[in-house]
Amino acid sequence: MLRGFKEFVLRGNVLDLAVAVVIGGAFGAVVTALVKDPLTPLIGAVVGKPDFSAFVVTINGSQFLIGDFLNAVLSFLLISLAVYLFVVVPVNALVARRRRGEPPADPTTKKCPDCLSEVPIAARRCAFCTSALG
């Protein structure tokens, strides 16, 4: 039983996942600090109020915390924007730069001349119309 557990824990994907969770938590803290410290006060300087939590609508004695919802939506949008600008865009640029010099991959399929369906390169007959391929 312990041997199986040891094999499970030392399997590559479990360790990769553990590292990803730890790094993800640390990165989440960095992005949250980025949104909370420079971006939210900047919006507060433009709009005049960085915290909307005091905005409450009361109907028949029930309070609707519209401001808390607006804070959550704004925080989500700012975090999404920060992740896009500081992670997605640079990684896409790096991947595009690495692939710039690569030749295109060899095709693995060809078109049947009769029915125009995609068939494997090594096929001698079309799987769809059974015509002979040359």
The string of DSSP letters for 40-62 reads HHHHHHHHS-S--TT--EEETTE
**CB-neighbour burial class of residue 31 (10 A; exposed 0-12, middle 13-18, buried 19+):** middle
Across 36-40, 71-75, 84-88, 99-103, least confident range: 36-40
Q: Is the pLDDT of residue 76 over 70?
A: yes
Domains and their CATH numbers in the chain? 2-102 (1.10.1200), 106-134 (no CATH)
Tokens matching residue 86: 């500081």
Q: What are phi and psi of 110, to 5 degrees?
A: -140, 165
Considering the entire predicted model, what is its pTM? 0.49
